[in-house]
Structure 1
Amino acid sequence: MKQIRIHWLIDSNCQSSHIQNAPELATVRVVPSSQGALLDSFNESACLEPGVFIFHARVIFRQPEPGVWTQIGEFASELEEEALMIRSIERGRCLQRERFPEITVACEPGTDLFRYADRFSFVASCDAGGDVDSTSLCLYRSRLHELLGSDHSQALLQALQLQQTPALHAHPMPRHVSLPLRQAMHNPYRGRMRQLAAQAKVLEYLCALSTHLLDNRKPLPEKCLSRSVVRDLHHKLLGLDGKVPPLAEIAREYDISARTLNEQFKKEFGLSIIAFVTDYRLRAAHAALSHSRVAIKTLAARLGYAHANHFTAAFTRKFGYPPGKLRRISH
């Protein structure tokens, strides 16, 4: 891949950009004008090795407008050979108006996009109701065959309905399968170590994808649940506002049983999922009451309690005194 051409549509003042094929991570950042709907939009790319490319894209909206689709840009590239291209959305929703083939496809968490072609050209739009975070992977056919073997890679393409070219299909994908790909560009290292860490995550992803699609004897996900999945859930819970989803619903995101997920989480963090969320939120409420004047009723609703008295009872059990007393002492 020599370069990807990007024509930004979010701001008429933004010039077309090119992501060059380079061994180190490179970032193309575009900041729209103050009148634009976006706060920021950028792509970063890396050539992990010849014929293996990875991209991370983020779109941040200044003022969320649910249901309003905003065109972000036109993306195009001609490849040196046919390639398997994959896009996984961590958050937000996107629409891609494709030219090869001429269709429009939707991308959202839980549904990954798979392409097999020697080129691509599409206009991307995002739902302005929330920020968008996605990771894409491009594997040349020769590298795919080298990594998986010719028979196995052909079977994988067949399972993805990509026997012909150009072909493009969206497939539901369990979170535990896509998670390593999404983690590939998010590591704390620099230089060669960062590239190696990204390569390791890509290989982990290809193993998970192949096992999920091809291995009829695959073990249940709960038997091989990795610490990265549990830590991903931990990170997600820390940023969760309002009522906590039912445990069964959380477990479905990771395609494992609720009991096993809860047991693994408790083994890693010392508390069950619900106990952890309750403890974390009550400690956060204690800090908020000590350093701000937010209303107890407002705080209770923000933390997912249906009634303020339920919050008061839980707070009292945790700390030995009601939240109103803490406020009187603090202020």
Structure 2
Amino acid sequence: MDGVVLPTTHDIVIFRGTHQFNQDITGPDFQFGNVKGLFEQDTFMVSTAIGGWARQEEKFPQCTITFGDRLTYFRNAREYDFESTLQASANLCVVSLSIPINSMALLIGEESTKNLLRFLNVSADPSIAVHEIPMRITQILQSAVNPRLTGSMKRLYCQSKSLEYLCELVELMEKSEAQTLHVEEKNSIIQDIHNDLVNHPGRLPTLTEIAQNYGMSARSLNTLFTQEFGLTINQCITRSRMEKAHELIQNSDIALKLIADKFGYSHVNHFITAFKREFGYTPGSLRK
């Protein structure tokens, strides 16, 4: 076995182990032994294997998992303790990533971190899940330890690959969310969001707040909304509010300042600018 443990900034740690077996000695399976460790805080762990499989008898929580090639192993825990068995019929390269969840939130954002853990079924501590991940994404993590680099450049390259891997997982999650929603369910959710926002008084909630309320990522929500209405959430609601404001201005003597406040504009000048952008003329021209 040839192994390397490479710590980087943000408490990211990459482990790479290359296992070369002589079957005359080891047989088809190799009992690697017990592996255990303890983190100071909740930590997200990923393990990939290329060339074969690895099987682990886990204690936290108690379960047996097998990963390798397209199957990737994910964990959320402060402690790990398992007995490992490796396939010895082929040379095996295992690459693992660990990063504190707080550090992960700093790098890819709290919303993306929360949604990704939920998507991978590892929101709880402790929890373990195995998922089929496209090989192109797995290869990013597998290439994180570059033997041609040394010192700070090696750590920087490792960190960049770790971040690239996490971002690819987030993108995979967002595409999966958009594709797996049933058409009728998707249309119903998007229509509910549209109706809620059109009738929402005052300041609109942010895209992130809306997405959290419906258990989706902001990007997936905006993509689905655009597919349904041909406009982003902000464009759609702004247009609806401007049309209602246009009707109020034309058919009432309510002051522009009150109308602006009703539709979430803290300054009447901002309302006038948005109105002119939508219709090509100022709201005051309707009352001349």
Give the TM-score band, short-chain normalised.
0.5 to 0.7
How well do the aligned residues superpose, as a CA RMSD in angstroms?
2.1
- Unpaired segments ≥5 residues, structure 1: 1-40, 219-331
Residue aligning to 2:128: 168
Matched, 1:57 2:17: yes
Higher-Rg member (1/2): 2
Tell me the distance in 2 between the aligned counterparts of 1:120 and 1:181.
21
1:51 deviates by 1.9
For the structure 1 residues 158 and 64, does the alpha-carbon distance in structure 2 shift closer, same or farther, using more than 3 Å as the test?
farther
Match of 1:48 in 2: 8
Change (3 A) 1:67 1:169: farther
Tell me if structure 2 keeps the 8 A contact 1:67–1:127.
Answer: no
Q: Distance in 1 between matches of 2:124 and 2:169?
A: 20
Other-structure match for 2:141:
181
Alpha-carbon spacing, 1:73–1:43, altered in 2? closer, same or farther (3 Å): farther
CA deviation string 1:41-73 (max 9, x = no partner): 242101111421110012110236998322112
Higher helix share: 2
2:12–2:159 Cα contact (<8 Å) kept: no
Distance in structure 1 (CA, Å) of the matches to 2:85 and 2:176: 37
**Equivalent of 1:90 in 32, 40, 50:** 50
Task: Measure how far apart 1:194 and its partner are.
Answer: 1.1
**Higher RCO, 1 or 2 (CA under 8 Å, sep at least 6)?**
2
Could you tell me which amino acid in structure 2 is paired with residue 164 of structure 1? A
CA contact (8 A) 2:141 2:162 kept: yes
* Runs of 4+ deviating beyond 6 Å: 64-67
1: distance between equivalents of 2:147 and 2:27? Answer: 33
Q: Distance in 2 between matches of 1:175 and 1:43?
A: 22
Give the Cα–Cα distance (whole angstroms) in 1 for the partners of residues 177 and 130 of structure 2.
24
How many residues in Structure 1 have an aligned counterpart in Structure 2? 179
Among 75, 83, 93, the residue aligned to 1:123: 83
> Which residue identity does 1:90 align to in structure 2?
I
Distance 1:54 1:139 in 2: 9
Contact 2:44–2:76 (CA under 8 A) maintained in structure 1 = yes
2:10 counterpart of 1:78: no
CA distance in 2, matches of 1:117, 1:44: 22
Pairwise CA distance, 1:98: 0.7
* Contact residue 64 and residue 130 of structure 1 kept, 8 A: no
What displacement does 1:117 show? 0.5
Q: Distance in 2 between matches of 1:162 and 1:71?
A: 27
Distance 1:211 1:123 in 2: 33
State the Cα deviation string for residues 74-109 of structure 1 (Å, max 9, x = none).
111110000110001121111111111111100110
Unaligned runs of 5+ in 2: 179-288
- 3-state SS of paired residue (1:200): helix
- Counterpart of 2:156? 196
Q: Residue 9 of structure 1 corresponds to which residue in structure 2?
A: none
Normalising by the residue count of structure 1, what TM-score does the alignment of the two structures yield? 0.51
Provide the secondary structure at the position in 1 that maps to 2:20: strand
> What are the equivalent positions in structure 2 for 1:286-325 lying under 5 Å apart?
none
Shift, 1:149, TM fit: 1.3
Q: 1:137 aligns with which of 75, 97, 100?
A: 97
State TM-score, norm by structure 2: 0.59
- 1:186 is matched by which residue type in structure 2? N
Does the 8 A contact of 1:177 with 1:212 survive in 2? no
The reply on whether 1:107 has 2:67 as its aligned counterpart is yes
**Counterpart of 2:165 in structure 1: which amino acid?**
Y
| Deviation string, structure 1 residues 262-309 (Cα, Å, up to 9, x no partner) | xxxxxxxxxxxxxxxxxxxxxxxxxxxxxxxxxxxxxxxxxxxxxxxx
CA contact under 8 A between 1:155 and 1:214: conserved in structure 2? Answer: no
